[in-house]
Amino acid sequence: MSANTPGNFCWFELGTSDFDGAKAFYGELFGWTVDVNTDAGMPYGLVSHGGNGICGMYELAPEMRDQGIPPHWMTYVATPDADATAAKAAELGAIVMAGPFDVHTYGRMAAMADPTGAHISIWQPKDHCGSDVIGPIHSFCWSELWTRDRDAAETFYTNLFGWGLNHKDTGPMPYGEWINGGIPIGGMLQMNEQFGDAPPCWMPYVHVADCDATVAKVKELGGTPMMDPMDIPDVGRFALFQDAQGATLAIVTLAMPDE
């Protein structure tokens, strides 16, 4: 999957309370390396693996922490026109939280809360197109909307990005796959009482070779498993954890076609 295609997930970003701690945690967990860039006026970590750009990370500013913004992962969607997409999102009922604004010469972005309350960002690439790879081991491979109003979410995202939604309601929770250009790029599930008071969100997934071993490593590094590894029929094995600073991330080991 190309991150550069409009409507595809193109970048993933960690906002953390401890930059050095997060750098060490994910370096040990996934073998990620981080180069610090200050071109945009603040220290920003460009994360790579195997020579490919994977994602970004930054330390939450004091004013962000004062607003109660916790450590979190953000999903970005590629767009050819951030201003037009942000304006359309507002028309469709989203709250544009920041932007659109230029990030140095790298691109133009905006951050928003969709009509169901989940936060997502858009990216208009200039010098920086986003992730070099989507899908290989220790890169991001999927992003999933957790929402309490999937009808409203379907209306919003199909109108905003032109996505389709392939409904797959055979499991314990209603589920759907987002389709862009004929290719599944992510998912949506209907939150139920098991989610408690957790807010709607976009949950990114990192592809790992061994889900169980990765969860064991999370524990060693001071993270907290939120959902033990479990199988998804015909898909693979996944788990959910919080890193040592409290940001939540999903991992998945994908089943091979002959398994």
pLDDT in tens, 234-257: 788 999 999 999 999 999 999 865
- Same domain assignment for residues 98 and 194: no
Is residue 98 a part of any domain in this protein? Answer: yes
Instruction: Give the span between the Cα atoms of 51 and 111, in whole angstroms.
Output: 28
Is residue 135 a part of any domain in this protein? Answer: no
Query: Which residue range forms the structural domain that includes residue 52?
Result: 9-125
Inter-residue contact 149 to 143 (CB < 8 Å): no
Is residue 103 a part of any domain in this protein? Answer: yes
- Same domain assignment for residues 153 and 95: no
- pLDDT at position 82: 98
Is residue 107 a part of any domain in this protein? Answer: yes
- Same domain assignment for residues 159 and 225: yes
- Same domain assignment for residues 51 and 100: yes
- Same domain assignment for residues 148 and 193: yes
Joined together, the tokens standing for residue 30 give 């996934």
Tens digit of each residue's pLDDT, the chain (259 residues): 566 799 999 999 999 999 999 999 999 999 999 999 877 667 899 999 999 999 999 999 888 887 888 999 999 999 999 999 999 999 999 999 998 999 989 999 999 999 999 999 999 999 999 999 999 999 999 999 999 999 999 999 999 999 999 998 666 678 999 999 999 999 999 998 888 888 999 999 999 999 999 999 999 999 999 999 998 877 889 999 999 999 999 999 998 654 3
Which CATH number covers residue 15?
A: 3.10.180.10
Instruction: Give the span between the Cα atoms of 186 and 191, in whole angstroms.
Output: 16
Is residue 43 a part of any domain in this protein? Answer: yes
Inter-residue contact 8 to 239 (CB < 8 Å): no
Domain count, the chain: 2
Is residue 45 a part of any domain in this protein? Answer: yes
SS3 assignment, position 42 = coil
pLDDT digits (tens, 9 = 90+) for 96-125: 999 899 998 999 999 999 999 999 999 999
Is residue 2 a part of any domain in this protein? Answer: no
- Same domain assignment for residues 202 and 118: no
Among 78, 93, 125, give the residue marking a domain's end. 125
- Same domain assignment for residues 145 and 250: yes
- Same domain assignment for residues 228 and 188: yes
Is residue 132 a part of any domain in this protein? Answer: no
- Same domain assignment for residues 160 and 67: no
- Same domain assignment for residues 156 and 184: yes
Inter-residue contact 140 to 207 (CB < 8 Å): yes
